[in-house]
A and B are shown apart, each in its own frame.
Chain A
């Protein structure tokens, strides 16, 4: 029953309970709320939709797929190159720090879950969440499409949890957002898996601006 086991591994990997500190990063959402850009569930939905379609779907998702292939083929050079490309696409210091910190934290966890290949990434500055997520997915026989879907789901759930605290939104409103935005994921994953290398890359100006403004926000709950 390899299939069932790989599903359980994926659920473990995308759980908000995974001890890599995701809950402490809002990715600019905290500043967007502070600046009055986001004040309702509908505006939260627009924000997350935009980030999914113009950011993650064109950057994280296709690069995660390439990292997954690289780990399968034990192509460490390809792993390094795609990690570096992903970091280069992060528009602010906080977004880069978040990726490095969560990537290194996941490396630490994976070493303890008997994936010794993760060990060299404990201190590497080019560790990203996607780098280590792809390693775990490849070694735990999670399919590539499932890995990309799970990664996007994990991001979405974390962002919705942030929005519930920050905007703030009711718990049910948050779950409704999650359900509706999840509808976008299958097509987004399919598009991401079919992008060629030259098509990779996307930026959301509002995110980059909000994140850089978060870096000088005086009072804040989140690290990004």
Chain B
């Protein structure tokens, strides 16, 4: 499962030899005609590869979590700030994994800040929540008046291919999106065995996902509605310029494919670039 890493760089924070606190703090600044990763501080096993520029100005970064999975007691914190006019895209090379808990909760906190005329794309690969995992995740997005953001979260509960459902375990997933310091959107999804099966929950679908786009218009809404057409289990809404797209599916890759198509529809207007899919997604 996860390799037996040497102790974290901050042994004081470790309460149990098998759990980690890890923190990553990234800062992106516009220098000339490109965005530079000027701050990259980390503590514990959470880091980024050297940034690269497959499309010119936009700084692409891959988040790495060498243990390859999160267990009860781990606490990951990721902070990213995109300064004025800068453009960053953050993704991951592989699915995130939250393993079965023997007791206790794993926590993940992500704080993203997007300054004036800056854009941030937060496009991680899916997160696999193993049966029996206990997870608490908080996504906090703080947008300046003219900050731009595209972000998604794709969850795969249990491992249906391995015959595993989600009969035990619990994931609490928080999203808070603020603009100019004012709370625009707040969601707290609690997923457990009941919510996994229930019609008001995931109705037995092992993949669920939410995509956010800001600032979006009624034209974007209409375009995504047309893309959805008669397709089941896909929805989209627009509230105060925030486009929220939701989907359920039996497979996370199908949901990701749908979100990629939505991304393709809106990216030109939000980021000013055609879609440039990170190569790592294809591997």
Q: Which of A92-138 contact B (CB under 8 A)?
A: 92-94, 96
Q: Tell me whether A88 and B225 are in contact (CB under 8 A).
A: no
Q: Which of A165-207 contact B (CB under 8 A)?
A: 201-207
Count chain A residues whose beta carbon lies closer than 8 angstroms to a beta carbon of B. 36
Q: Tell me whether B200 and A51 are in contact (CB under 8 A).
A: yes
Task: State how many angstroms separate the Cβ of B187 from the closest Cβ of chain A.
Answer: 5
Is A15 part of the binding interface, using a Cβ–Cβ cutoff of 8 Å? no
Given A91-B187, A203-B188, are A208 and B235 also a contact pair (CB < 8 Å)? yes
Count chain B residues whose beta carbon lies closer than 8 angstroms to a beta carbon of A. 34
Given A206-B198, A208-B246, are A216 and B225 also a contact pair (CB < 8 Å)? yes
Q: Tell me whether A46 and B203 are in contact (CB under 8 A).
A: no
A206 to B182, CA, bound (A): 27
Is B277 part of the binding interface, using a Cβ–Cβ cutoff of 8 Å? no
Given A205-B189, A206-B202, are A88 and B183 also a contact pair (CB < 8 Å)? yes
Q: Tell me whether B228 and A216 are in contact (CB under 8 A).
A: yes
Residues in chain B within 8 A of chain A (CB atoms): 174, 182-191, 194-195, 198-203, 208, 225, 228, 232-239, 244, 246-248
Q: Could you jot down 30 A-B contacts, CB within 8 Å?
A: A35-B232, A43-B199, A46-B200, A47-B199, A50-B199, A54-B200, A85-B183, A85-B186, A88-B184, A89-B187, A90-B239, A92-B239, A92-B244, A93-B238, A96-B239, A201-B174, A201-B186, A201-B187, A201-B188, A203-B188, A204-B201, A205-B200, A205-B202, A206-B201, A206-B202, A209-B233, A209-B247, A211-B235, A212-B236, A216-B228
Residues in chain A within 8 A of chain B (CB atoms): 32, 35, 37-38, 43, 46-47, 50-51, 54, 58, 84-85, 88-94, 96, 201-213, 215-216
